[in-house]
Amino acid sequence: MKYKVFLFLIFIGVGFFLKNATAGEDSLAYYRDFWDPHYHGKLLNYCSRDKKDCGVNIASKFCKLMGYEKSSKALIAYNVGVSIYMDNCPLCKGWDCNAFKLIRCSSNLKHSPVQSYYFREQTFVLPRFEKYRIAWCYENGKGCGYRGAYSFCRRMGFSKTVDYKIDKSIYATKSLGDHKLCFGEECQAFASITCFR
């Protein structure tokens, strides 16, 4: 019985260790596998021309050319016959030429939210609807001010209204709600509406 309890505790401990070991990995990492990677139409040689630099270092140079940060895995393909060196592009011909079978390129996603650029807020001066100035009231004398401005902003693809101003004694306006026209000195319209995304 003690032996079973001991094994159970070891099993729990190993599970806890594995969970904590994987929790530290970067969840924003992404990768791409390049099988039989080619460079200028030929298989990429596993080493540099002087044979001083091989494997992951050459693979990392390839990954940087492909737009990734580094190489996280590289597998060799022995005796391929013809391959190309990354430095100066000469060919390697013969039985002793090795190339990459696989290069895994990886990078991390950067979390850099978009700043508040000019396109997030826009002011419409003397806004119009179907060639008429927009009436101050949304429909039939109701919903004046904010309701009309909010409706206009939503129609223009914005999420909310930040500011609006009235303009009095406008001779021709059209309301957004019921599309009613107003003619005469008693009509009021928006002088400006500021919308925000």
pLDDT digits (tens, 9 = 90+) for 133-154: 999 999 888 889 999 999 999 9
- Whether pLDDT at 25 is above 60: no
As a whole number of angstroms, the distance between CA 4 and CA 6 comes to 5
pLDDT at 171: 87
Burial (CB count <10 Å: 0-12, 13-18, 19+), residue 41: exposed
Report pLDDT for 28.
63
Mean pLDDT, residues 167-175? 90
Is a pLDDT exceeding 70 seen at residue 33?
A: yes
Q: Does pLDDT of 2 surpass 80? A: no
Q: Where are the domains of the chain?
A: 29-108, 119-196
User: Tokens 């990886």 belong to which residue?
Assistant: 106
Residue 18 is predicted with a pLDDT of 42
What's the pLDDT score for residue 16?
A: 46
Arithmetic mean of pLDDT over the chain:
84
Place of tokens 């319209």: 189
Quote the pLDDT of residue 166: 93
Residue 3's pLDDT is 56
